[in-house]
Amino acid sequence: MAKNFKQLQDRMDPASRDDNRRRVREELQRMTLDELRSAKRLTQADMAEILDVPQSSISRIEQRTDMYLSTLRNYVQAMGGVLQIQAIFPEGPPVVIKRFGEYEDRSYFVWARAESDGTYQLDANPLDQGVPLTIKPLKAQAFAKVLRALGVPEPNIRAIRDLRSGAKAAISTRFSLPDLMEAGFEATADD
């Protein structure tokens, strides 16, 4: 007959229980994002719904080794946690770092332009301060995929894809820097 884990744990001596808790904490500290999500009994679809992003975005976040702290913070918050960054120095206790700048609050105006070779260019200009962003020229399918990742509705994507060569169309004024960087935008190269 199967025994309840709680009953088994109650029979353990205190030293074994403490050792077990320590090992669980150590294991949790080594988890990747997808393992952590699974441990919280959440699927990628669940996370996508909570964060209001496509499921493919969750997959990309979980595979990345380098991302914006705001992306990681939102991911952890969606699981019910709080992201905490600490600086650890040999001569003292850990220092919790609470502020990383105001980049998250910047909004960008995004333009799409149809090129003569059948590709599309996306440019993002900050509404207040910040650097202009761009994304490499994209073929129609990749272009539509980026717009979907940014949450642009399908009718708008179709209308933009119908632009004539050289024509330009505004997409939105409310994209955040982390969203644009996640979609593949980079700082515009200095000429």
In angstroms, how far is CA 164 from the centroid of its own chain?
33
Pairing of strands 120-126, 85-87: unpaired
**Residues 142-187: tens digit of each pLDDT:** 999 888 888 888 888 888 888 888 899 988 767 877 778 778 888 8
Helices 154-161 and 140-149, packing angle to 10 deg: 150
106-124: per-residue pLDDT in tens? 678 899 999 989 899 999 9
Q: Domain residue spans in the chain?
A: 13-97, 103-187
| pTM exceeding the 0.85 threshold for the entire prediction | no
CATH of segment(s) 13-97: 1.10.260.40
